Copies of this chain bind each other. A is one copy, B any other.
Amino acid sequence: MEERAIKAIQDDYPDDFAWCYGCGRMNEDGHHFRTGWQGEQTVTIYTPKPEHTALPGFVYGGIMASLIDCHGTGSAALALHRKNGHEPGDGSEPPRFVTASLKVDFLRPTPQGVQLKAVGTVHEIHPKKWKVDTKVFADDSLVVRGEVIAVVMPSTFTKKAAAE
């Protein structure tokens, strides 16, 4: 559980932007993915719920895709925030990203009842567009590989959220 206590970028999103079903702390029904730094890499720890099955005993692919998606946008936010001189928990508001594209390769079945660890490497394409390569491990076994292209949230989203 030590790894759960990382300083997560999602903890610093303003309330209006914290409703994501994947990673929003305000969304009671959601997954509450939390993403932080581990050295130069990004990490999200998550244990799927019993109902998140593909077949009994194996984790549903859509949950793995969701983990990679939010881990990707969170990782891009961490990286741009660090580039701007900030770390999670330092009191400054982080940038927010949306997913432009998502790729997931299912390398082997993901066993249920096991804590998953998504580990990301972030690459800047340009200041508003970042690529996050992610590997997901279950008990040290690499089960899924993913890639997210994340872009800084366009104003069409932020205007709508502010109006709610």
Contacts and interface: CB of A to CB of B under 8 A. Distances in A.
Interface residues of A, number: 42
The majority secondary structure among interface residues of chain A is mixed
A160 B57 contact: yes
A21 B48 CA distance: 11
B56 A161 contact: yes
Interface in A34-93: 51-58, 60-63, 65-66, 69-70
A21 B52 contact: yes
Contact of A102 (B56, B100, B103, B109): B103
A137 interface: no
Interface of A: 16-17, 19-22, 24, 27-30, 51-58, 60-63, 65-66, 69-70, 98-106, 109, 156-157, 160-161, 164
